[in-house]
Structure 1
Amino acid sequence: MKLENITNPKRRYDDACGTALALEFVGERWALLIIRELLLGPRRFGEIRAGLPGLSANVLTQRLQGLEADGILVREKLPPPASVQVYALTPWGYEAEPVVLAMGRWALRSPRHDPALPFSRVSLMLALRMLLLPDKAAGWAGRIGFRLGEETYRVTVGDGALAIDRGTLADTEAVFVGEPNDFLPVLFGVMPLAIALAEGRFEVEGDTARAADFATLFLLPPKIGA
């Protein structure tokens, strides 16, 4: 009897459907989450691991090699003074963003969603895109910052759309200061900002009223069966 080669890291479905081919690219454990961590720009190996604490260095190396071989990401070297190697999505790799966000929003409707589990900094920023209420955002314009440890992000809302810039807080009206899980009750629409601040969950620098108004632009999708 011929045994299946279980050491082959790539699944092959032998199916002409594009969905099957997509799973050959990102169906391996961690592959899609690595793409998620790169959707806001290039990252070093250690930064990717920090966003995915359950991922071993060996598996990360294997997945990066596979995604590179499939044309989804590339290795680059930043110019001086950084001069470090980073991993970046190719233009085709970036096209996966709507898929990642749609899958996330779909899964959030499950009662199994546990917001107490680890939540990466990139995940928080992408959640803002995912959970934005278009009707409310259509009448809101401004810039809000996030200082997440050593990382900074600027969120710009205008004309019902949300853009994210990594590495700057320029021209922001207010800045949320903390770590991703700290903000979830407020940004998921289950706790007013004033209560979160009173409990010391995180800090807001600048215009607190604008920060509170910004927080109302997002809401979790309803759970199935609700």
Structure 2
Amino acid sequence: MPRQPSRPRRRSYDQYCAAARALDAVGDRWTLLIVRELLAGPRRYTDLHADLPGVSTDMLAGRLKDMERDELVTRRRLPAPVSASVYELTDRGRALLPVLRALAEFGAPDLGEPRPTDAVRAHWFAVPLLRALEGTPGRVVQVTLDEGEFHVRAGDDGPAYGDGPAEQPDAYLRTDTATCRALASGELSLAEAIAAGRAELTERVRTG
């Protein structure tokens, strides 16, 4: 009987510590950025690769397998006529939203001006903006920047944000990247940005 190839040993810090156990699962390069993308909801592999500039196809495939093993993501086939599979976060994976929010808050003061080598996606501002948008009218806020549109669900149990316009937003926020950076870092409050003319917030007019 041919010998079965042994599976590679799972890398671990081998420390009886809750933080070390967490890093065993999410401490590898790209893992938390994949979580960031999937907080928007189910994504196809090609969509993930497009919004994670710099990751190789082999690296992305490997990380997704690791995350499936660790029950952070699951993969499912979309029903006909769509012939594609999507990855989505499990409850365990969605529980990482506070971790991403804390990391965004920690890193926001270091953003500065974009470097020439920096890729930019509008929806990357979604998680940093969650705190600034708490208390805005309604639950779904559609944000428009020069770089594109996204929407956030403040306080919702579903995906934290979505790329592109929302189907039925409760409010619309129009601003720019520099103001988003200031809101994310806490340099400006939303009320201050509006008063300074750097942001415009309007509620959706409801009929009926």
With normalisation by structure 1, the TM-score equals: 0.63
Pick aligned residue for 1:141 from 114, 121, 137: 137
Q: Which deviations, in whole Å up to 9, do the C-alpha atoms of 1:150-205 show, x marking residues without a partner?
A: x86444669xxxx64566342555475xxxxx932122338x9xxxxxxxxxxxxx
Q: Does 1:127 align with 2:120?
A: no
Q: Aligned letter for 1:75? A: R
- CA distance in 2 between partners of 1:184 and 1:15 (Å): 41
Alignment match, 1:184: 177
Q: How many residues align?
A: 175
Q: Does 1:214 align with 2:201?
A: yes
Q: Which deviations, in whole Å up to 9, do the C-alpha atoms of 1:15-43 show, x marking residues without a partner?
A: 01011111111111111111111112110
Alignment match, 1:205: none
Q: Aligned letter for 2:142? A: G
Deviating more after overlay: 78-87 vs 117-126: 117-126
Pairwise CA RMSD: 3.5
- CA distance in 2 between partners of 1:133 and 1:125 (Å): 10
Q: Which deviations, in whole Å up to 9, do the C-alpha atoms of 1:99-143 show, x marking residues without a partner?
A: 11112211223x4x34413233442221211x4165xx3xx4155
- CA distance in 1 between partners of 2:108 and 2:145 (Å): 23
Alignment match, 2:48: 48
Residue aligned with 2:101, SS: helix
Please list, as runs of the form range in 1=range in 2, the aligned pairs for 1:30-69 lying within 5 A after superposition.
30-69=30-69
Deviation at 1:79, TM superposition (A): 2.0
Alignment match, 1:195: none
Gaps of 5+ in 1: 1-7, 177-181, 193-209, 216-226
Pick aligned residue for 2:168 from 170, 174, 182: 170
Determine what percentage of the aligned residue pairs are the same residue: 31
Moved over 6 A (4+): none
